[in-house]
Amino acid sequence: MWLPDVNVLLCASQGQAPYHAVARHRREAAFGSGAAVGLPWVALLGFLRLFTNGRIFPVPMPVDKALRMMDGWLSHPNVMVLHPGPRHAALLGALLIGVGTAGNLTTDAHLAAIAIEHGATVVSFDRDFARFAGLRFEHLHA
C-alpha cells in the first residue's frame, strides 16, 4: 500500500512546486496500478491547510477546488482512509523514543505509526522517515 505524506500530495498537485514532475508521476503510477493507496486524515488535512494558505502559495488554491481534489482521491476505488489502530500509541511512543526526540518529528512519527499498523509504505521527499525503525519508506528525489 502506498501512503504519501503531505509534501508529495502538495508537489503532485501544484505545477510550480519543486519536484512536481516526480511527485505527479509517482501519484499517477500509484493510482493507476490497482494497488491500494492509503490516505490518513493527517496528510489530507495538511494538504488542505497548506494548499489554501496565501502565506505559503502566492495564489492559494480556493477551498472548494482543494476539497474537490480531495473528494476525487477519496472516491478512487483503490483509496482507503487510514486511521490509527489499537497499537498506535505504543508504536508512536516507540518510534519517538527510538529517534530520541519528538519536536518536529512528531507528525512524521504519527504517519509512520499509521503506516506500520496498516502495512503501508510511506512515500516522501523527507529523509527523516528513514530514521523510524520498522517503517517501509520510499524516498522520492529529483
Binding residues for Mg(2+): 5, 108
Q: Which residues are annotated as a binding site?
A: 5, 108
Sign of the C-alpha dihedral computed for residues 53, 56, 58 and 61 taken in this order: negative
φ and ψ at residue 80, rounded to 5 degrees: -135, 145
71/104 Cα distance (integer angstroms)? 29
**Segments in the chain forming alpha helices (H):** 6-13, 20-32, 41-51, 63-74, 88-99, 106-118
All residues at 6 or more sequence positions from 107 whose CB lies less than 8 Å from its CB, including other chains: 42, 46
| Nearest CA-CA partner of 60 in 73, 49, 75 | 49
